[in-house]
Chains A and B, each alone.
Chain A
Amino acid sequence: MTESRAFERSFDSLAGIVAFTAEFFARAGIDASLRPVVDLALEELFTNMVKYSRASGADVDIALTAIRQGVEVTLTDHDVAAFDVTRAPDVDVTLPIEQRRPGGLGLHLVRRMLDAIEYDYAEEGRRSRITFRKTLAERPASGATATTGGEGAGD
């Protein structure tokens, strides 16, 4: 079972994305305990797309697929530069508070709380695509895989 929807590139879309996910979880019978992490990943990744690809006027496509014991989510962004979320520099959370800067924890959390996250970029259409999975199964130690990517900065 897969459902997809296009969302305007705007922070105002976040409430609609949360509602879409909640409805899909209920329809597909996916364990509700997975929702906070899926919501978190969607909020962080979608927010990055809004913040760092303002030049694109295209909507962001979000597809949800029910998989064994969980869900697979794909965010597809069009007419944007490459930004590989699996390879973006990590923040150093071991620094003392005086040296830590507010912000920048989004990708740090996403990469550690999901089962897997993958990225690919197609020059044709300048299409950026992130796919992640969250299941009830134990997370693998690495938690992230990358297929291709570019440079950039994100939260």
Chain B
Amino acid sequence: MEVARRRFADVVVVAPVGRLDHGSADELERVLRPLVEPSGDAPAGLVLDFGRVDYVSSVGLRVLMIAAKEMRRRGARIAVVGLQPVVAEIFAISRFHSVLDVFDALPTALKAISAAAAAAYGSPAVSTST
């Protein structure tokens, strides 16, 4: 699974591409772990851009639940944006709107999480991908 990563001030945006299933969930968990665990440079917010995720199974939801619990534990925000229709239905049935914040688009999420990140959005961002 290709996972792009960008940082806007104190918020990290993680954008996986493709299917979040039994074959790729471990990879996403590996990317998220250092971002959600407490550390000196841990982000104040994490946004998962699911605009290019067309499939999520329960093992993927498990990874998101673990990340959300960890972020909440250290008082940080976690959100998801760009849900495709089938994925949005899966979120609704699983009541994941109460697990992480759901926004239509990235700018809206950044604005809700951090003024600094919202201001940084549009400026050149630091990007990495795995």
B residues adjacent to A (C-beta < 8 A): 21-23, 54-55, 57-59, 61-62, 65-66, 68-69, 72, 86, 89-90, 93-95, 98-99
Would you call B93 and A14 a contact (CB within 8 A)?
no
* Contact partners of B58 in chain A: CB under 8 A: 44, 103-106, 109, 155
A residues adjacent to B (C-beta < 8 A): 11, 14-15, 36-37, 39-40, 43-44, 47, 93-94, 96-98, 100, 102-106, 108-109, 112-113, 155
A43-B57, A100-B99 known; A108+B93 contact, CB < 8 A: yes
Would you call B68 and A97 a contact (CB within 8 A)?
yes
Q: Given A37, A106, A108, A112, which contacts B86 in the complex, CB threshold below 8 Å?
A: A37
Instruction: Tell me, rounded to whole Å, the shortest Cβ–Cβ distance linking B100 to chain A.
Output: 9
Would you call A44 and B69 a contact (CB within 8 A)?
no
Would you call A113 and B55 a contact (CB within 8 A)?
no
Instruction: Tell me, rounded to whole Å, the shortest Cβ–Cβ distance linking A91 to chain B.
Output: 9
* Contact partners of A97 in chain B: CB under 8 A: 65, 68-69, 72, 98-99
